[in-house]
Amino acid sequence: MSGFYNVISYFGDFHFVWMVFIGAVAGLFVGAIPGLSVSMATALLVSITYSWATGDAIATIMGVYTVGVFSGAISAILINIPGAPSSVVTTLDGFPLANRGEAYKALKYATVYSFIGTVFGFVVLWLAAKPISDIALKFTPMDYFLIALFGLAAVGSLTAKSFSKGLISAMIGLILSMIGIDSVMGTPRMTFGIYDLQAGINIVPALVGLFGFNEVLSVISDGYLDAEVSKMVRSVVKIKDMLKYFARSMYYAVIGTLVGALPGAGGPVAAFLAYGEAKRIVKKPDVPFGEGQVEGIVASETANNACIGGALIPMLTLAVPGDAVTAIILSVFYIHGLQPGPMFIKTSPDLFNAVLAGGLIGSVFILLLGLLLGPRISRIISIPKRILLPIVTVLCVIGAFACNNRMFDVGLMFFFGIAGYFMRRRDYPVAPMILALVLGAMMDNNFRRAISLASTEDNMIMALFGRPITLVLMVFTIITVVSNIPAVKCYLDSRGSKKNAV
Amino acid sequence: MEDNIKKGYLQNKNIQDAVLFFILAITLIIYSLVNHYSTAKLEWKLSPYLFPILIAVFIGALSFSLLADGIRQIKLNEKSEKKAAIHWKGVLFTIGISVVYYGTMKFLTFVPSTILFLVAMFLHLGERRIWLIALISVVCSFSIYIIFGVMLHVMLP
């Protein structure tokens, strides 16, 4: 009980709340401005907070993290460029809503359900950090490989008109993630003698290129430079209507928190899985998914924000980051002399409480800043495209460069932007590629580890797939792949239409 | 007639992509096998080239799926969705000017090269108010420099 009072006491600590607020405002702008990302902002904070007190650093970072993940939805809704990979799904329904003149409504739903998701994630972190990390500890390398494969298959099926094209995009991402020094054997792979490639393909320039510069090229290519996007018309959204989705949002929050707790699978997987579940649960939506269905925004935003609390579970208790941002936060902890791991909660209870309080206060700022400043930010974003696009390109250059201070990464960003443009022209989605780039190394390591471990057993197949948890993941993956094969899909569709006719 | 059918197959985007990805899969398999036996010299279970081969096999299978999609499209005489006309000139100019921007940053440093890049892009995208172009280019470049470079101590190119 004393832990509860300790966390609540931070709400009365003006200095702490102020530091969270500074981080929250920074997170709001960083997430909302295209080309800048939460990962980049937290990476910048590593150097900025170096000389700060640990509590201040944690407060600011939690503010940036919570509000930054949410505000990725602002640019996703208003200009169809997600601020972070986890907001990719929000674009599917958010942007069509904005195009219909309902950007304000979309933002309001995104704000409220981001708040709900974040609070849910942190409450779970608070109550169940230990039991959940115990479950994650029981995962074998094959389980990690399968959960990532399942994520890629789900993303491939959700983002492309053609499942094959979605999977091909993921496979190309996996190939690119193989470039660099192999982490198991320490030998260079697919570097073709290029020194800069030995460090591998950094996710930040790839993300900025595929979502930022790609968008610049696509808009110029289509020639819609004077088209007004996402006009902000204030509309009243009744609380009753708003809370209509509350019960189902708890389910999406559970998905988000669980996926967040699995190392490697972060916000994008959570958002895609929740979106897939929403499509499955809502049989006859009033507006089709992908064309401005509010439930799509609710599922995506609740899940990706619930992921924050989930991703902090393995980071704090196992020192294994749940996603790219927690990987950077982990380095902040190390810089401040902290040692996250199984003993962290026992040895540093105050700092654990500070993380919880920072997250919860950050979630309050999601609500306040999202409702008060979110719609106004649209004025910054809805400037004419002929002015906005060149500035976005410059921000893309900074975003790509700031991560490692390498001009090579700027070149990579341009490369991915151009590649993404041609992919888009030929109907290949870029989201599976990004997810594969993030998960590729983890999949490779765990796959080889699983094969190595199983090869010492008498029955290799049983060693690989004999555990119940592995079987469940395997079944999910196979169902996702098989149900998307065109012939099977046609058969299922025809059966469905026959049933409806009866 | 036969020529037209042949042309139809060659012009189908799915079939073109299928051929491209099949070649990629074969190349990746050859690359992985050559490197595994020449440089890695390890058991397959530890080899860095095990996973790339697995991916190559997947891509190979997916290229056949794309091929099937393409053939089905031709047989059913399905036409791919008409897309808006592409402004190739604009795209190529943007790519070109970005490459120049990338190159000049090394010599001119961030602020001057950014001002030049912004001026060129604004003019290219149709902004004709010279005072506005000059104002935004200079203010934006210096603001970014001050916010990131000075206030946040972020290294700029």
Tokens of A396: 């893309």
Q: Is A174 on the interface with B (CB under 8 A)?
A: yes
Q: Tell whether the model's pLDDT for residue A461 goes beyond 50.
A: yes
For A:421-450, CB contacts with B below 8 A are 421, 425-426, 443-444, 447-448
* Token pair 């031709």 in the structure block, residue: B74
Which residues lie across from A74 on neighbouring strands?
Answer: none
Q: Tell whether the model's pLDDT for residue A35 goes beyond 60.
A: no
**DSSP, res A229:** -
Rounded to an integer, the average pLDDT of A252-275 is 80
Tokens of A275: 């979106």
Tell me which of A231 and A73 has the higher pLDDT: A73
Q: Is A414 on the interface with B (CB under 8 A)?
A: yes
The predicted pLDDT at position A227 comes to: 47
Measured between CB atoms, which of B51, B102, B156 is closest to A414? B102
pLDDT digit string, tens, across residues A433-451: 877 887 788 788 888 888 8
**How far away is chain B from the Cα of A444, in angstroms, using its nearest Cα?**
6
Mean pLDDT, chain A, integer? 81
Handedness of CA A221, A222, A224, A230 (dihedral sign): negative
The predicted pLDDT at position A429 comes to: 83
Handedness of CA A392, A394, A395, A399 (dihedral sign): positive
Flag if B117 and A451 touch (Cβ within 8 Å). Answer: no
Find the radius of gyration of the CA atoms of chain A.
22
Confidence bin at B123 (pLDDT 50/70/90): very high
**How far away is chain A from the Cα of B80, in angstroms, using its nearest Cα?**
10
Rounded to an integer, the average pLDDT of B145-157 is 78
Q: Where are the domains of chain B?
A: 2-75, 88-151
Rounded to an integer, the average pLDDT of A482-493 is 71
pLDDT digit string, tens, across residues A336-366: 777 776 677 777 888 888 999 999 999 999 9
Helices (H), A185-293: 203-208, 214-222, 239-242, 246-261, 267-281
Flag if A222 and B55 touch (Cβ within 8 Å). Answer: no
Tokens of B43: 């058991």
Distance from C-alpha of A156 to C-alpha of A167, rounded to nearest angstrom:
5
The predicted pLDDT at position B141 comes to: 92
Confidence bin at A80 (pLDDT 50/70/90): confident
Contacts of A411 in chain B (CB under 8 A): 102
pLDDT digit string, tens, across residues A246-256: 999 999 999 99
**DSSP, res A189:** E
Residue A299 φ/ψ, nearest 5 degrees: -65, -50
On whether the CB atoms of residues A445 and B50 are closer than 8 A, the answer is no
**DSSP, res A192:** T
Flag if A220 and B90 touch (Cβ within 8 Å). Answer: yes
Which helix or strand (DSSP H or E) is residue A7 part of?
helix A2-9
Q: How many helices (H) and strands (E) does chain B have?
A: 6, 0
Flag if A390 and B117 touch (Cβ within 8 Å). Answer: yes
The predicted pLDDT at position A122 comes to: 92
What burial class does residue A144 get, using C-beta atoms within 10 Å of its C-beta: 0-12 exposed, 13-18 middle, 19+ buried?
buried
- Most confident residue range from A53-57, A206-210, A300-304, A335-339: A300-304
The predicted pLDDT at position A112 comes to: 93
Whole-number percent of chain A with pLDDT over 90: 16
The predicted pLDDT at position A272 comes to: 83
Mean pLDDT, chain B, integer? 85
Tokens of A218: 């696509």
Distance from C-alpha of A229 to C-alpha of A98, rounded to nearest angstrom:
8
Tokens of A248: 């189902």
| Closest residue by Cα to residue A422 from B61, B154, B121, B92 | B92
Here the ipTM equals 0.91
A interface test, pick of B125, B132, B139 with most A CB neighbours within 10 Å:
B125
Distance from C-alpha of A296 to C-alpha of B80, rounded to nearest angstrom:
27
Flag if B62 and A455 touch (Cβ within 8 Å). Answer: no
Instruction: Count how many pairs of residues, chain A against chain B, have C-beta atoms within 8 Å.
Output: 155
Find the Cα–Cα–Cα–Cα dihedral A75, A76, A82, A85, rounded to 10°: 140
Rounded to an integer, the average pLDDT of A30-40 is 66
The predicted pLDDT at position A211 comes to: 74
The predicted pLDDT at position A323 comes to: 63
On whether the CB atoms of residues A220 and B125 are closer than 8 A, the answer is yes
**How far away is chain A from the Cα of B5, in angstroms, using its nearest Cα?**
22
| Nearest chain B residue to A171, by CA | B55
Distance from C-alpha of A1 to C-alpha of A8, rounded to nearest angstrom:
11
Instruction: Name residues whose C-beta falls within 8 Å of residue A321's C-beta, 6 or more positions apart in sequence.
Output: A263, A311, A314, A315, A327, A329, A330
Strand-strand pairing, A180-181 and A188-189: antiparallel
Measured between CB atoms, which of A171, A190, A410 is closest to B102? A410
Tell me which of A91 and B40 has the higher pLDDT: A91
| Closest residue by Cα to residue A175 from A162, A158, A189, A160 | A189
Tokens of B92: 């190529």
Confidence bin at B87 (pLDDT 50/70/90): confident
Distance from C-alpha of A322 to C-alpha of A343, rounded to nearest angstrom:
18
Confidence bin at A324 (pLDDT 50/70/90): low
Rounded to an integer, the average pLDDT of B81-91 is 75
The predicted pLDDT at position A33 comes to: 65
Q: How many helices (H) and strands (E) does chain A have?
A: 24, 2
**How far away is chain A from the Cα of B17, in angstroms, using its nearest Cα?**
9
Instruction: Name residues whose C-beta falls within 8 Å of residue B76's C-beta, 6 or more positions apart in sequence.
Output: none
Rounded to an integer, the average pLDDT of A47-66 is 83
3-class DSSP state for residue A180?
A: strand
Instruction: Name residues whose C-beta falls within 8 Å of residue A96's C-beta, 6 or more positions apart in sequence.
Output: A290, A291, A292
The predicted pLDDT at position A130 comes to: 66
On whether the CB atoms of residues A121 and A260 are closer than 8 A, the answer is yes
pLDDT digit string, tens, across residues A11-20: 889 999 999 9
